[in-house]
Amino acid sequence: MSERNTGSSAEPATCGAEGASGASVTAAKVTRRHNPPPPGAPTYRELVNPWLAVGVTCAVVALAAALGAVWRARNGRGRSGAAQRFAPGSLPGLDALAPGATLVQFSTEYCASCPATRRHLGRIARERGGVEHLDVDLTSRPELASALRILQTPTVFVLDGAGRLVRRFGGAPRREELTAVLDELVPLPEWSL
């Protein structure tokens, strides 16, 4: 028969079941890990106002949505160049400038949208005469990225025939904006039928 521990005796309680060796299994004494709160102390529900928690959560979600909207509105938009000029050889792979425009794409090995941007810019360069596309990998060139203040990839520079930075796109350039810049530099020939 098993003994029952009521907390007053020093002997541990034993179970009625016997182990494979025939010895009684002894139950461990259960203790509390934390002391109970003192009488009159506020409970968790009294400390945290549920409406305040809901309000803070909604404010964080609204702030994240606003920041995402601003980022999305600015991503792919062109900014005017900062009067920078690039001579042949000043950038890796820039051996010569195209007579109309040179599209210089800065990308990294882990960039998700860089391959699609590379295909898009390559197609534009093939379709328009006088436009060349150059892809510069910044993965092993962090000093170049900091010197040119490139904070995201892809970043696309549009250089004119003299090497002047005409437009700078952070992110994949928007088609209509890039087309407008290239129309100024390299107008498409008007075909008459």
pLDDT at 192: 43
**What's the helix, strand, coil split of the chain in %, to 5?**
30, 20, 50
What are 147's two structure tokens? 């010197």
Whether 193 maps to a domain, the answer reads no
Do 56 and 130 lie in one domain? The reply is no
**For strand 131-137 and strand 101-107, is the pairing parallel, antiparallel, or unpaired?**
parallel
Q: How many residues does the chain have?
A: 193
Do 160 and 84 lie in one domain? The reply is yes
| 14 close to 2: Cβ distance less than 8 angstroms | yes
Domain membership of residue 128 as a residue range = 78-185
Whether 66 maps to a domain, the answer reads yes
Do 90 and 142 lie in one domain? The reply is yes
What are 143's two structure tokens? 């000093």
What are 24's two structure tokens? 């009684």
Do 112 and 168 lie in one domain? The reply is yes
- DSSP bridge pairs for 136: 106
pLDDT at 105: 93
pLDDT at 193: 44
Do 68 and 88 lie in one domain? The reply is no
**3 state SS of 95:** coil
Of 171, 191, 163, 23, residue with least CA distance to 81: 163
Do 68 and 90 lie in one domain? The reply is no
Do 100 and 160 lie in one domain? The reply is yes
Do 85 and 180 lie in one domain? The reply is yes
How does pLDDT run across 12-57, given as a tens digit for each residue? 555 555 555 555 555 566 665 677 777 878 777 777 788 888 888 9
Whether 158 maps to a domain, the answer reads yes
Q: Structural domain tally of the chain? A: 2
E-strand ranges in 37-100 read 78-80
Radius of gyration in angstroms for the set of CA atoms belonging to the chain, rounded to a whole number: 35
Do 139 and 155 lie in one domain? The reply is yes
Whether 100 maps to a domain, the answer reads yes
pLDDT at 21: 52
d(CA 81, CA 153): 17
d(CA 167, CA 77): 10
Q: What does pLDDT average to in each consecutive run of 10 residues of the chain (193 residues)?
A: 50 52 56 72 76 88 86 67 81 86 91 91 88 91 90 90 88 86 79 47
Q: What is the CATH number of the domain that holds 127?
A: 3.40.30.10
